[in-house]
A and B are shown apart, each in its own frame.
Chain A
Amino acid sequence: MKRNNTVMDRVFVALVFVFLYAPIFLLIIFSFNAGNSNTVWRGFSLDWYRELFSDRVIMRSVYTTLLVSILATVIATFAGTFAAIGFYGMRRRKRNVLTTVNNIPMMNADIVTGVAMCLFFVAFFHGWGAFAKWFNGIQALVSLPERLTMGFGTLLIAHITFNIPYVILSVSPKLRQMDKNLVDAAMDLGCTWMQAFWKVILPEIKPGIVSGALTAFTMSIDDFIISYFTAGSSSSTLAMTIYGMTKKRVTPEINAISTILFCTVLLLLVITNIREARQEQLELRRRKLPTATAAEAAQYASRPTSRLPKLLAAGGAAALVLCVTVMAGRNAGKPVVNICSWGEYIDESLIDQFEQKTGIMVNYQTAESNEALYSLLKSGAGDYDVVVPSDYMISQLIEEDMLEELNYDNIPNFGLISDRFKNLPYDPDNKYTVPYTWGTVGIIYNTAMVEEPITSWEVMFSDEYAGSVLMFRNSRDAMACALFYLGYDVNTTDVGQLREAFELLRDAKERGVYQSFVMDEIYGKLEGGNAAIGAYYAGDYLSMVENNPDLAFVIPKEGSNWFVDAMCVLKDAPHKEEAEAWINFIASTDANLANMDYIWYASPNEEALESYPDYYEECYGEELDPEVFEIMAPSQEILDRCQLYLSLPAEIRTLYNDLWTELGI
């Protein structure tokens, strides 16, 4: 009956494989690129591999991914097998109901599963907190932790939960195929109940268990969405790290880790397949020549080599886990501080310096925007000690009683902060904050791609450069662009004015003015010449212009926003003292100089700001361009043209959220 495939058919199949593998091979090729681009080849190098192994964030997330996948697979395989046996022993009606429930995590959209579990964990932690408080109050023998947060534990629970159904799915058919009398026969012959299970049931369903475990592991490794909602802030899988990175500048270290993962998996598969192929050949031979070679074949099959690949694979996996564990687990047990800041917003060597100086380990995370940070805090997904929100978000957090008052005795370096950055409207008595940086918002454009210098916000709404304009992906900044252009107060609470600004944005979006809405992805897009114009922060412009000298920055004539980002400690933060040590360290003049040099945002530390031009000259042997310094730390004259965002009343904030969601639609 078999009609063989025609040449055309084979070409088609081959093309599909090319489609599946071309992107993977490109990833691999560019992991050896000397430059940091994924599109331009600059020669061979192994730099990214070296960087990868010293990158703690990526290594940690690889470790988390492997650990959670392996643990979840083992537990789910075990639990799933027993559950399948249990289901098998049930009456039909009951079994059908339970099978339906069991199918939910498989059939449900991942995002719903993730969101549901996130809500559940947070609700449970609230309840637990109240219970623990009460329980600790009535007795003194056992002290229950009052504060639980999402982390590795919840991540593992989530993975186990979505893995078990796959195990059940592949074990159940094997159970149904099993001869029902086998177990009875075994027991009649004197097997105990347990023996019957080990000697009869288990061998029968073993293929199902193995394939279930394999599916579970694949699903765990491949998962992103459920992890994203259940991992909290303290643990992050590789996928989450990559997702975080695609929102800013992606380093080719990602290509390097992809290559390593791919090659490891390929190797394991090749080993197991060679083994299977060999066994199959044996089988074939045995069938063809029954008696004479059966003994030979049996001898062949029992050769220890057939075990070797399995052992190799297991040993390799164990070694890998051990290796990563050692690398990631070195610092277990030390005091920690959890920080959430913005992307590209710190000289990372400061983290190492701080850790060496104080012995406190830093868990450094980033959020995308003030609004996203607020969501993380509110939803319980973010569990931080220190956050670095902007002015208006600080007032909102203070208003909602989410910040802890600082003990300024622990932060002597607060004295170095310039007086003009103290007691600002968002924290009038300066009880909660220590400023981190300040700067302005403006328009960044590629001089090679525009006709004449940009001077007005108009360009963000006109058709002139439609398709090459990048707009902010956060409501406050995006609305501000429109409000400035319309000549309204940026802190307006007039619904009519806000609607008008919104219509301006929506209209521009519908006319195709915006190539996309971005936050830190703007780096790649403007540096690579993929977009011509984008509104963003001055400090980031100075970082970008280092990589693409064609870029220019302007504070539009209609005025703009100036902002202060300040470090705060969250209410009931578990590591308040460590948090204050961090804040004090970052407020020092040395740290501020290093940071300014790295991120190009102006420092609120008077001494650091004034000495920066000298510092620059010392470091690079050339004078700092005064124009650059002016963009970084604009004079009062320019600041006078700019406005600080103020906190908005709750109903206006809701309006912002609604309008923002509507704009996205």
Chain B
Amino acid sequence: MVLSATDAGDESEEIAVKYFVLLAGYGEMPLWDQLDAEEQEAGMAKHAEFDKECANRAGVEIVSAEALDDGSMATTLRTRGGEMTVTDGPFAEATEQIGGYYLLDAPDLDTVIDLCRMLPAYDIEIRPVPDMG
């Protein structure tokens, strides 16, 4: 999304922001493995619809997307005073609920928010990925 200053005002160049979209199963969306087969199918349908809509929108592209294994499968590394410790489990209790992510290119935040309405009722965190170039 970073353009050189001389591009300012040049509308011809499309800006795309990279967004990390984190899906968490709090609130009204339980953990995936707690859903019955029918609910899982409905959830999958929503993801498929989301993918399709992303493909239809100008300037939107799914760079990558994965479902993650649950928090009990996580391993956490912490380095303190140069010493790395390895522990079982996720960062914090809350992140145990993280179920997956999308990495998207999109023209702006409003587009991403609008697209996320199509997903199951996850709690969703959207973070821009800064362009380090």
Partners in one complex: no
Chain A residues within CB distance 8 Å of chain B: none
